[in-house]
Structure 1
Amino acid sequence: MTHHMRTHLPELRVAAQRIGRRRFLTVAGAAAALAFTTHLPAVGVASAAEQDARKITKDPFTLGVASGDPLPSSVLLWTRLAPAPYEADGGLPAERVEVEWEVAYDEGFAFVVQRGTATAHPEFAHSVHVEVTGLLSDRLYYYRFRAGTWISPVGRTRTAPGDFGFGTELSFAAVACQAYFDGYYTAYRHLAGEDVDLVVHLGDYIYEYPVDAAGGHRRYTDRQLPAHFNRETVTLEDYRMRYALYKTDPDLQAAHAAHPFVVTWDDHETENNYAGSVPENDVPPAEFLLRRAAAYRAYWENQPLRAPQQPAGADMRLYRRLRFGDLAQFDILDTRQYRSNQAYGDGWQTPGPESEDPARTMTGAEQERWLLDGWKDSGAVWNVVPQQVTFAQRRNAPGPDFKLSMDAWDGYPASRKRILDGAQAAGVKNLMVLSGDAHDAYAFDLKADFDDPASRTIGTEIATTSLTSGRDGVDRPGNWAALTQANPHLRFYNGRRGYTVITLGLFDARISFKTVTGVTTPTGTLSTAGSFVTQRDSPGLQPA
C-alpha cells in the first residue's frame, strides 16, 4: 500500500470496531472520516501511482458495463475494474489505471465516432465515469472499454431526442427492489431483450442485509459465496463488495449492456427506512452519517451517474431533471435524504395530528421548490416523476378503522398536497408518478381529494413490482380484496415479480405490467399481467 493510500483509506476500515451489530464511533472520529470523503481527487486528476494496464493478468471487466442519464448530445458511460470482484480491493493495487473507451455507430466498431481515455482511480474503487459529448440526438450507439489487453463487453446506449420538437414515442421500463438473496434476476434477462429506450430504476438496487454462502434463495448453483457477505453492510468496504456481488449477476449485466439506466435510490442502498439523518436503529447520529457517507459514495462509484451527482461526505445531490424533446420531462426525486422522520414510530399506523402536520416534508423545501419551478417551465406533454415510495393514498382496510404506511407519502399528506397543488398551478395536465418499494405492482388514479372518489382525477401513479424482493409472490396477495375495496382509485394490484413497460406517445400512454412465474428457480417465464392506457389531457387509467 502506498503512502498516499495510507493517508486516504482509513475512514471506514480502522475508524471503528464492530460491537455486536454496530460499530462504535466518536463524534470526532466521524467528523474526521467525513472530512476525508470531501478531499478526494477530482475525476480525471492524477493521484496515486499509475499501474501499467498491461500487467493486469485477469479480466478486469467482471462487473460489466453500463450507461445512463442520456442527453441529446451526450451519454454517461460506466465500468469498474475488478479482476477479483469479491475481494476488498477488487484484485488491483492502490494505483490508478488508464482505461480506453470507444463509441461507435455499429456493434462491430467499424464506424467509431468517439474514443478517448479515462482514469480509474483507486479512491473510487477503480470505477470509470465517462461523459461522452458531441453525439447525435435520438440514436443508438455502441460502446466498450479496454484496459491493457482486456476488452469489455459491448454496451448499447441511446441519446435523448433534441431539446425542441416532438418525438413521436418514448418507451421505458420501470424496475425496483432486487434483493439478491430472494431470487434470480430472471426479469432482467427478459428486460434485456425488450425494445425500450431506457430503464428507470426506482431504488433498492442492493440490500444491506447479510447474504449467506448459498446466496439465500439462489440455491440452484454450486457457487459458495465468501463469508464476508454474511454480515450487514456498514463500512465503505462492505458496500463496495455488496455492489460487486450484485453486479456479477449475468442477467443484471445484460440489462445494463442493452439499455441506458436512469437511477435513483431508496432506503436499502444505505439502511432500511432511514429518514434524512435519522437511522432505523438507535445508533449515535455521527455513526449513522458515517455509514450514509460510505453508502452514498459506493452508490456513485457503482452507478452510471454524472459528475454533479458525485457525493461530498454524507450528502449527494441525486435529484435531477432529464428532457426527451417536448414529449416528456423526467423529474427524478430523492425521498430519503431530506425527509422528516416517520410519524408514530413508522410502520402502518392510524393517521393523526403527527402525520398530518403541515410542516412535515418528504422532499425537503429546496427539492420541492425545484420540482414545482421545473413544472412551470416544462412545456412537455408528459411530466414523469420517478421516485421511491407509494404516492397515492393506500388504506389497508375499508371503513373508518384503516391504517396508512408512515414510510410512504401517506405519512406525509401535507407534502403530497403541496406537490399535487403545485402541478395543477403549473398547468401540468399529464402527470405520471413512478414508484417502487412496495414489492407489488399498483396502478392508481391520482385524485384531487382521495377521500372523495368522485373528485377530479389529476394524474396517474404507476408502481412497479420488485425484481426479486419478496420472492415469487402471487397474482392476488392476501390483502387484495381489502385494498381494492378500501381504495377505489386503485385500478390494478398484482403481487408477482417483474417490471413495467411504459410507452409515452403524442396522444396516450400505454402501460404493461410484466411478471415472471417465479424467481426462486432460474427458469421463470414472462407474461403480461395487466395493460392500461391513459389519454393525453384526460388523466385516468383504462384497461387496454
Structure 2
Amino acid sequence: MTSLLDSSSEHPADAANPRRRTVVLAAAATAALAPMAATLGAPAAHAAAGAPAFLHGVASGDPLPDGVLLWTRVTPTPEAVPGSGLGPATSVSWEVAADKAFSRVVASGTTSTSAATDHTVKVDVRGLQPQTAYWYRFTAGTTVSPAGRTRTTAGHDVTTAGVRFGVVSCANWESGYFSAYRHLAARTDLDAVLHLGDYIYEYQTGGYPEDKYVVRRHEPKHEILSLADYRTRHGNYKTDADLQALHHAHPIVAIWDDHEFANDAWSGGAENHTPGAEGEWAARAAVAKQAYFEWMPVRASIAGTVYRRLRFGTLADLHLLDLRSFRSQQVKVGSGSVDDPERTITGRAQLDWLKAGLANSNATWKLVGTSVMISPVAFGSLPAHLLGPLTKLLGLPEGGIAINVDQWDGYTDDRKELLGHLKDRNIKNTVFLTGDIHMAWANEVPVNMATYPGSGTAATEFVVTSVTSDNIDDILHVPADTASLVAEAAIKAANWHVKWLDMDSHGYGVLDVTAERSQMDYYAVSDKRRQDATSAWERSYRTLNGTQKVERVWQPVR
C-alpha cells in the first residue's frame, strides 16, 4: 500500500467528602512506564557511539478516517541537538502496521530531514482503514525508533457508539513533573488526547515559578526568543518520559495558547515581550510558529495556524480554535473597551468559519476546543486577600480584578455574536472544552449572564485544570483546600452558572461522548512535585442531549 508523504513543517461513594479522590490509577500507569523508560534508554547508546538516535520519541496526531500524521525527531550525530543547526541531512524510513509485532505492515516509505527543519520528520499517512488501531515506527541507518500506537477515526457518515478523549492543558516544566501524562498514557480506552494549549512555556528559568520553587530546570535557561531557542525548548520538553509515553500511546489533537509564544500574546505583541529589547513581535511569533509545526504532530490550517475541524463519525464534530493569532490587544480592566465591537478574539474569518461549521454540522455533538474560557466570570466578589494571588495567577495588572480580560470576557462582542448565533439558529449540544486557567470548572454558558437562568443557556463548558502550572494555593504556598475553598465559594455565589470549580488540583480530564450525553470525568494527581504521583478520580459532570445543562454524575465512565 502506498501513501501520501509530507515531511515539511507543517459516585455516591464520595458524597460524604466530595473532594476525596477515589479511583486510583497509579499501579497501571507505573507498570506502563517501566518498559517505556527501558525502550527510551536504548537510543542514547547509539547517540554516544555516533549512530543516529531517536531521543525525543515518536508521536501521532490529527487522526482522520483514512489517515494520521506521524512525527519523530532524529539526532543524526551527537552534536545535532535541537536548535543547533548542526548535523547532516538524514534519510528516515517509516512503517505502519496492523499489529504490534509489525508482521503486517500496511504502509511504508522513506523521507529525509535536515537542520532546515531541526531534523524533525512529519509524515501524513493516508489509505488506512477507519476506526482502526495501528502501530508505527521509524528507522535511520540501523537505529529503530520506539514504536507508537495510533488510531484512525470513524468514517464521516458512520454512526459510532462513542468517542473518548483525554483532555489536558498548561504543562510547565519547571513547576513539576508530567505524571498526568503518564496516567493518560496508561489508559487503553482513549481515541485521542486533546491538548488545549500551553504545551511549553517561554520563561527563563526561575521566571515562573520563582527560582526557589523550581522543581526542575528547563533548557535553554534564558527566556526563549529565537528560532533556535524555541526549538531547544520543544526538544527539552520532549525528553520527558511521561510526555513521550503519552505520545507513544495515543494520537494527539493540539492547539496553542499564549505560552507557545509569550504570556498573554495577541496579534501584535504580548505582555511578556518588550519591543526593541526582545526584537520585533512579528519575527518572534513567526519563529515560535515554525518551531511548533516542526515539533508537533499538528496539521496547519489553510490560514497557516491551528484552527481546523476534525470529525468523529456522525457523533461529534471537533472545532479547534486559534485565539492568539488574530485577537486584539487585551484592554485594561474597567476601561469599558471590552464591549467594543471593533475588538476581536477570533478575527472575522475564523468567527465566520466557526459559525458556519456549527450551523452546518449534522453531528450529534458540536465540540469546540477553546484555549481560554468562554463563560463569563466575575471575580470582584473575592475577599481582598485572595484578589492579589488570583491577579498574579491570571497575569493581570495589580489592584484587584472584576473580570479576566485575556478570556472571552475581554472580547464580549465576539462572544455575544457567537452565543446569539447558537440561540437564533437553535443549535443544540455545543460543548466548549477549555484550558488555560489552571482550575477545573463545569459551567453552563448563559445567553445573558445578567438575566440567567431566565435567559437560558447557549452551551455548556468543561474546563480542565493544569498539568503542573501554578494555581492559587501554589502561589500562596498554603496546603490544598485552604484558600481555594474560600475563593471557590465566593465565585460560585456570584456566578450562578458555575456549577463546580476546583482551584487547587492538578491533573486532567477524560471526556466521554455518546449519543445520550457528553461527560467529563475530572482526575487529580497527588503531588505534581513527585515523579511517582498517583492519580484519582475527583468529580464528574455531564450534559444530556438537548438540555444544554450541566449536572453532576456520581461515578466516572468505566
1:498 is displaced (CA, Å) by 0.4
**2:202 counterpart residue number:** 208
> What is the alpha-carbon distance in structure 2 between the residues aligned to residue 234 and residue 219 of structure 1?
21
1:96–1:119 CA contact under 8 A, matched in 2: yes
Tell me the secondary structure at the aligned position of residue 235 of structure 2. Answer: helix
Please, which of 127, 130, 143 is the counterpart of residue 137 of structure 1? 130
Please, which of 94, 99, 114 is the counterpart of residue 107 of structure 2? 114
**2:88 counterpart residue number:** 95
Tell me the secondary structure at the aligned position of residue 177 of structure 2. Answer: coil
**1:356 counterpart residue number:** 339
**1:461 counterpart residue number:** 461
**2:97 counterpart residue number:** 104
Change (3 A) 1:106 1:160: same
2:314–2:364 CA contact under 8 A, matched in 1: yes
> What is the alpha-carbon distance in structure 2 between the residues aligned to residue 406 and residue 371 of structure 1?
22
**1:500 counterpart residue number:** 509
- Identity rate, percent: 37
**1:247 counterpart residue number:** 238
> What is the alpha-carbon distance in structure 2 between the residues aligned to residue 90 and residue 355 of structure 1?
39
Tell me the secondary structure at the aligned position of residue 70 of structure 1. Answer: coil
1:86 is displaced (CA, Å) by 9.0
- Whichever residue aligns with residue 519 of structure 1, its letter is K
1:504 is displaced (CA, Å) by 0.5
> What is the alpha-carbon distance in structure 2 between the residues aligned to residue 54 and residue 447 of structure 1?
56
> What is the alpha-carbon distance in structure 2 between the residues aligned to residue 288 and residue 92 of structure 1?
23
Q: String of CA shifts for 1:93-151, please: whole Å, max 9, x gaps.
A: 44321111111111111111111112213211011110111000011111111111111
Between 357-366 and 449-458, report the one with greater CA deviation: 449-458
**1:233 counterpart residue number:** 224
**2:498 counterpart residue number:** 490
**2:534 counterpart residue number:** 525
1:405 is displaced (CA, Å) by 0.5
> What is the alpha-carbon distance in structure 1 between the residues aligned to residue 54 and residue 206 of structure 2?
25
**1:30 counterpart residue number:** none
1:58 is displaced (CA, Å) by 4.1
Between 236-245 and 85-94, report the one with greater CA deviation: 85-94
Q: String of CA shifts for 1:411-450, please: whole Å, max 9, x gaps.
A: 1111111111122334320000111110111111111111
Whether 2:496 is the aligned partner of 1:509: answer: no
> What is the alpha-carbon distance in structure 1 between the residues aligned to residue 83 and residue 289 of structure 2?
19
Whether 2:71 is the aligned partner of 1:75: answer: no
> What is the alpha-carbon distance in structure 1 between the residues aligned to residue 79 and residue 182 of structure 2?
23
> What is the alpha-carbon distance in structure 1 between the residues aligned to residue 429 and residue 77 of structure 2?
47
Q: String of CA shifts for 1:282-336, please: whole Å, max 9, x gaps.
A: 4149711111111110000100023657xxxxx8321101111110001100000
> What is the alpha-carbon distance in structure 2 between the residues aligned to residue 93 and residue 282 of structure 1?
30
Q: Structure 1 or 2: larger helix share?
A: 2
Tell me the secondary structure at the aligned position of residue 292 of structure 1. Answer: helix
1:270–1:295 CA contact under 8 A, matched in 2: yes
Between 440-449 and 418-427, report the one with greater CA deviation: 418-427
**1:374 counterpart residue number:** 357
Change (3 A) 1:91 1:287: closer
Report the RMSD for the aligned CA atoms in angstroms: 2.7
Change (3 A) 1:207 1:119: same
- Whichever residue aligns with residue 283 of structure 1, its letter is P
> What is the alpha-carbon distance in structure 1 between the residues aligned to residue 533 and residue 309 of structure 2?
35
1:523 is displaced (CA, Å) by 2.4
> What is the alpha-carbon distance in structure 1 between the residues aligned to residue 214 and residue 325 of structure 2?
35
Q: String of CA shifts for 1:170-205, please: whole Å, max 9, x gaps.
A: 000110000000000111110101221101111111
- Whichever residue aligns with residue 493 of structure 1, its letter is L
Change (3 A) 1:433 1:218: same
Whether 2:322 is the aligned partner of 1:334: answer: yes
Give runs of aligned pairs for residues 130-529 of structure 1, distance below 5 A. Answer: 130-194=123-187, 195-211=189-205, 229-280=220-271, 281-284=273-276, 287-306=280-299, 308=301, 316-344=304-332, 349-350=333-334, 352-398=335-381, 403-454=402-453, 455-470=455-470, 474-475=480-481, 477=484, 478-494=486-502, 495-529=504-538
Change (3 A) 1:490 1:84: farther
1:129–1:306 CA contact under 8 A, matched in 2: no
Tell me the secondary structure at the aligned position of residue 339 of structure 1. Answer: coil
- Whichever residue aligns with residue 195 of structure 2, its letter is H
Give runs of aligned pairs for residues 1-12 of structure 1, distance below 5 A. Answer: none
> What is the alpha-carbon distance in structure 1 between the residues aligned to residue 492 and residue 402 of structure 2?
14
Calculate the TM-score normalised by the size of structure 1: 0.83
> What is the alpha-carbon distance in structure 1 between the residues aligned to residue 380 and residue 268 of structure 2?
32
- Whichever residue aligns with residue 463 of structure 1, its letter is V
2:300–2:306 CA contact under 8 A, matched in 1: no
Q: String of CA shifts for 1:374-408, please: whole Å, max 9, x gaps.
A: 11221110001101111101111349x97001111
> What is the alpha-carbon distance in structure 1 between the residues aligned to residue 321 and residue 412 of structure 2?
17
Calculate the TM-score normalised by the size of structure 2: 0.81
Tell me the secondary structure at the aligned position of residue 355 of structure 1. Answer: helix
1:296–1:316 CA contact under 8 A, matched in 2: no
Tell me the secondary structure at the aligned position of residue 77 of structure 1. Answer: strand
2:89–2:113 CA contact under 8 A, matched in 1: yes
Change (3 A) 1:353 1:220: closer
1:90 is displaced (CA, Å) by 6.3
> What is the alpha-carbon distance in structure 1 between the residues aligned to residue 537 and residue 78 of structure 2?
36
Tell me the secondary structure at the aligned position of residue 366 of structure 1. Answer: helix
Between 467-476 and 109-118, report the one with greater CA deviation: 467-476
Q: Structure 1 or 2: larger strand share?
A: 1
**1:15 counterpart residue number:** none
> What is the alpha-carbon distance in structure 1 between the residues aligned to residue 279 and residue 309 of structure 2?
31
* Structure 1 residues without counterparts, runs of 5 or longer: 1-41, 46-52, 310-314
- Whichever residue aligns with residue 320 of structure 1, its letter is R
Give runs of aligned pairs for residues 3-22 of structure 1, distance below 5 A. Answer: none
* Structure 2 residues without counterparts, runs of 5 or longer: 9-45, 383-399, 475-479, 554-558
2:60–2:297 CA contact under 8 A, matched in 1: yes
